[in-house]
Amino acid sequence: MSSPRLSIITPVFNGARVLRETLDSVVAQTRHDLEYILVDDGSTDETPQILAEYVAAYPWITTVRIPNSGSGARPRNVGLERAQGEYVFFLDSDDLLAPEAVDRLLEVADDTGSDVVLCRMENFGEGTRSIPRAVFRAERRQADFIESFAYRTLGPTKLFRRSLVEEHRIRFPEGYRVGEDQPFTLRAFLLANHISAISDQVYYWVRNYAPGGDAKSASMGGQSVADDITKNLTGIEAIRELTLPGSRRDILLERFMLDTFGMRVCFGARFLKLSRDEQLQIVRRAKSAEDMWTPGLREKADHRLRTLYTALFAGDIDDLVKVVQRAQQNAWVLAAHRTGWRETTMYLQGRGGRAEVRVGRAIETVDTFPLTQDVHAAVVGRRVSLEAATVSFI
């Protein structure tokens, strides 16, 4: 039997409620020169029985059961070790593929020779969440991953040439629960010859849930400050290792050094609740990124972040705690429902009242972010400047 062209890998945990839909979307593909590997991360619901049913019906579907790891990293790595396809694709256990997805992904990979191929994504279900848009504004063929804006999407739901992954032993870092896909995709982008992106129609459907309706996310929860530091430092290390100083490096560093869930997320209210020894450990680890705090990034940072990094990289824990305390006293928090919110007004709840911010366009999804009057709000992957918006205190 010849090797499959494509290995689809899906990590599964307690996905019984919607798992059949995902499996059926793969079964419905217009071509089947593929293998489908599902790795059960210790499910306690009906997931094992559903998987056994499909394995019995389709010889190209296989399953592996492992002890619960609490993250998508370990199951994906187990799937990679078993994969035989020329390409690999990562499909989440609650998302769907359009019937033509495999055919089009392989067609574009063959035509372009790209090591990584992205396909257009869209939301379905209750509410919406941020999904990549910029890279799909046009068809991309043999494109640079920075110039095409592909670097803005570091999720793993893409086609990767398996020889690229294996030659460089690219794997998902284990040991933390959120953001473990970013270093994998970032390394693949940096090592790839070029990327292509298919934008003529939606090929990947991202399921959304009402608050509390996603058992997978509920089981994972958030993660500790130490794990958030690990997540960001792992991404920074990939950039340090695989890029040279300059504007391209700075563009990639923005996610980890400037953005809402970059290093700054580690130095808020949670940091103040840590013991002195824990704070010192966080500071020692974070200081390893000091060489990545470039003049270009400093110029783009708001003044509070510059103040934070000045204290952090000086290593003065007392000064750093004071900086964090002052920032918390002045913080505004976006007060809005997590999903299904499509108005043009955000409400910021903070000390001294509530601010109404009109951003002049429909907001597709919002979350809770720390904000200040002169800090950018991260909404739908873009920064909405509060200075540029109309702010009225009510």
Average pLDDT for 50-77? 97
Question: Is the pLDDT assigned to residue 230 strictly greater than 70?
Answer: yes
Q: What is the pLDDT of residues 170-184, one digit of tens each?
A: 999 999 999 999 999
Please state, in angstroms and rounded to a whole number, the distance separating the CA atoms of residues 41 and 21. 19
Q: Output the CA torsion sign for 386, 392, 393, 394.
A: negative
Query: For residues 119 and 302, which has the higher predicted lDDT (pLDDT)?
Result: 119
Domains of the chain and CATH, by start: 6-220 (3.90.550.10), 225-329 (no CATH), 332-393 (no CATH)
What's the mean pLDDT when you consider all of the chain? 84
Helices of type H across the chain: 16-27, 47-57, 73-82, 101-112, 162-167, 181-191, 215-220, 225-242, 247-257, 269-273, 276-286, 295-300, 303-314, 317-329
Assigned token pair, 361 = 């366009």
Question: Is the pLDDT assigned to residue 146 strictly greater than 80?
Answer: yes
Question: Is the pLDDT assigned to residue 137 strictly greater than 50?
Answer: yes
Query: For residues 302 and 349, which has the higher predicted lDDT (pLDDT)?
Result: 302
For the ranges 120-134, 152-166, 202-216, 326-340, the one whose mean pLDDT is highest: 152-166
What pLDDT does 153 receive? 96
What pLDDT does 223 receive? 87
What pLDDT does 260 receive? 84
What pLDDT does 347 receive? 42
Q: What is the pLDDT of residues 281-317, one digit of tens each?
A: 999 999 999 999 999 999 999 898 999 999 999 999 9
Average pLDDT for 310-335? 83
Question: Is the pLDDT assigned to residue 345 strictly greater than 60?
Answer: no
Question: Is the pLDDT assigned to residue 380 strictly greater than 50?
Answer: no
Task: Output the pTM of the full model.
Answer: 0.84
Question: Is the pLDDT assigned to residue 136 strictly greater than 70?
Answer: yes
What pLDDT does 214 receive? 52
Q: What is the pLDDT of residues 25-51, one digit of tens each?
A: 999 999 989 999 999 999 999 999 999
Question: Is the pLDDT assigned to residue 217 strictly greater than 70?
Answer: no
- Report DSSP state, residue 169: T
What pLDDT does 210 receive? 58
Query: For residues 212 and 125, which has the higher predicted lDDT (pLDDT)?
Result: 125
Residue 312: helix, strand or coil by DSSP? Answer: helix
What pLDDT does 343 receive? 33
